[in-house]
Amino acid sequence: MDLPNIETYLHPDDIQTITTWGEGWTWLAGGTWLFSEPQPQLKVLVDIQPWRWSEIEIQGDNLIIGATCPLIKLLEYPWLAEWTAIAVLKTAITALSASFKVVNQATVGGNICLALSAGTLAPLMVALGASYEIWNLQKESRQVAARDFQIGFKTTILQPGEILRRVLIPLSNLTWQVDYQRFGITATDPALAIVVTARNHQQVRCVIAASVVAPRLLESEIMETAQTEFIACLDSESFIEDAKASAIYRREITEILIKSSLSELILRVQRL
């Protein structure tokens, strides 16, 4: 889709060459969502693709995924077999039900920063204890836990001129047993509820998304009582109410997915 309201297209060599940031400015990476519908509030596009950020690398104790990494690279990368969580990462990407063109162009950072309630990558990153590195225009960086990044529908903690630079996932967390459950009216519709559960030797983690405006992390130290604890927490959540589904329906679906996801985790542990 054309964006006739765009007045300026910037193609900077580096973030530090941008000395100011104004109203109606936005970063451009893959652009699959940006060009999918009218964006009347935008005036300036700042293209970051020429910066050639690294896409996938191991650094210290972390798997690092660059924000401009196309989703297709995560599907095609030769991951280590012992990183069991990668299978769920692939599931989250295929759950987008996007076209081949979109998967090839859409970026990790774009998916996360769009901050849709039904976003597929964000709940998994929260479940895996990921953190995000954020840059400002001076190339100063800060890190924030994935669980604290998205604070509402299309709302994050990013300040004007800030950009998500990369995602850091502890390598040890990639060996966790992880399960991804999603429910939508049809396979191609946005999810009405998403539940991601993860288990290590110390705790059980459950992230609910799509049924609430931003991913919510629930934690338990005991697998045998985790289901009861997580379901009890749902009573204090504010579920989305819209034309697609009532809040009550979304809560019930979320509860069903929690039960199903935890059961799958138990089965996987039993197979080991």
* Right CATH for 176-271 from 3.40.50.1700, 3.30.390.50, 3.30.230.10, 1.20.140.150: 3.30.390.50
* C-alpha–C-alpha distance, residues 193 and 257, integer Å: 8
- Candidates 41, 63, 42, 46; CA nearest to 54 is 63
Contact 217, 206 (CB under 8 A): yes
User: What is the Cα 252 distance to its own chain's centre?
Assistant: 23
Domain layout of the chain by residue ranges: 8-50, 52-172, 176-271
Q: Kindly give the confidence (pLDDT) of every residue in the chain, 272 residues in length, as a single tens digit, with 9 standing for 90 and above.
A: 578 888 999 999 889 889 899 999 999 988 888 888 888 899 999 999 888 888 999 999 999 999 999 999 999 999 999 999 999 999 999 887 656 677 888 999 999 999 999 999 999 999 999 999 999 999 999 999 999 999 999 999 999 999 999 999 999 999 999 999 999 987 778 899 999 999 988 899 999 999 999 999 999 999 999 999 999 999 999 999 999 999 999 999 999 999 999 999 988 877 76
Structure tokens at 24: 């109606």
Q: What residues does 69 pair with on adjacent strands?
A: none
Hey, do 52-172 and 176-271 end up sharing a CATH topology, with the first three levels equal? Answer: no
Domain 52-172 sits in CATH 3.30.465.10: yes
Task: Could you list the beta-strand ranges (E) of the chain.
Answer: 8-10, 25-28, 44-47, 56-59, 62-66, 131-135, 141-145, 150-152, 155-156, 163-170, 177-183, 193-199, 204-209, 216-220
* C-alpha–C-alpha distance, residues 258 and 180, integer Å: 10
